[in-house]
Structure 1
Amino acid sequence: MNENQSTSNPLDHLAVALDIVLQSDSLADACRRAVLAPGTNNVFRGAHILSLDVNGQLVPEAYFGAELPTNYLEHAMNAVITRNLEFAAETDTTAATISIPIINNDIPEAVAVLVMEAGTTEQYISPEIVPLISKVAGYHLDEKRASKEGRVQTFSGKPSVEEMSTRQVKVLEFMAEGLTNAEIARRLLLSESTVRQESVKIYRCLNTDNRQEAVAQGRALGLISKIQQAN
């Protein structure tokens, strides 16, 4: 492993992490900065932020770069439950990941999952700085959502309904019915990972940040009502 990947400089890593969080103007921008910021030494190929929904399920909100490996969910949930960094080592078929809980008012509400470069054997980020990163990220996220002007936008631009596939519209319908990702996956004979990726694409098309906003936008645009009338 490259010496830059070691955890020997926790204060340097903390400074980089705080710059990424505090300088970003959206979740998507934070993900982009995590992958591209010079201070991260090119050790991350992808960055994902997933929020806990009312059912305790992790719902994709924003991402940049490499997709999540198939084994990410258990490690991401462990990070949320333990409120600690969770490192998943690289395997023959999956990339290494780091999961960091995002905590607001002492309650975990999201998790950041970083997909690491091939050949990574160490977790790069020192666990001792994670509590501070988690709290600052949670405060930053809450502050953005509380401000109408500074509200977090995962995607920008006007809704692009014409870009949505039939399957994505069906996923949106099931979201409106209150189904979890697992339930949607069973209904459509898909994997949960596929449903999560389709959800992110739906958010992009509808210019929203989460499933509640996507459902509201879908209703406002007449998507969901048209589906229900057709059924």
Structure 2
Amino acid sequence: MTAERRQDPAVRSAVRQGVSVAVATGLYGISFGALSVVAGVSVAQTMALSLLLFSGGSQFALIGVVAAGGSPLAAVATSTLLGVRNMLYGAVVAPLLDLGGWRRLAAAQVTIDESTAVAVGQREPAAVRAGFWATGIGVFVLWNAFTLAGALAGDALGDPRAWGLDAAAGAAFLALVWPRLAARRAQVVAGIAVVVSLALVPVTPAGIPVLGAAAAAIVVGLVARPRLPEGAA
């Protein structure tokens, strides 16, 4: 980034937004690291999830299924369903960033909810890029650093049931998605998903209710999506 761009007020504002979002989001890594280890995932596996998967919602969903005794297949399927949204984010930010080669690969790794939100919230192209990278790299570094801290702490806790942590993964995931339920449409979709999940809990193995809820949410979201007016692009 050139000196002129660094001095641009819009760029400075975007970077400040990115750093503040990175700090707030990165702190969640402590919860993930601790809950992952007490759910039976090793420290090395926990770090691999944060470094390679790098998607908070998907990571919490995966360890939630594992903690509930679900099969590895159900855990991976649940995590994958939640991670599909990152592909949509990529389609949004790719034309804004206009990158190629290794930079495109690096951008794909840090294309998450937060980096996308900060990027699309800017008006100037330079601010878009600055906000995206400041947020994406900041979250990646802090999320993994705090994941390691939480994993090491969780490894020392032992049995999660002795500390009342056996249900904490679900609570942490709820805290992560709660801010996204402000819109009425999102509330309706979430409500239907909850009903489907509760109906499946008594009759299916662990992990299947989460998959059923996710599938129901996808179907409802597709059916109820807003329709463009005739002639709209």
Please confirm whether the aligned pair reaches a TM-score higher than 0.5, indicating the same fold: no
| Higher relative strand content | 1
TM-score of the aligned structures, taking structure 2 as reference length? 0.34
Larger Rg: 2
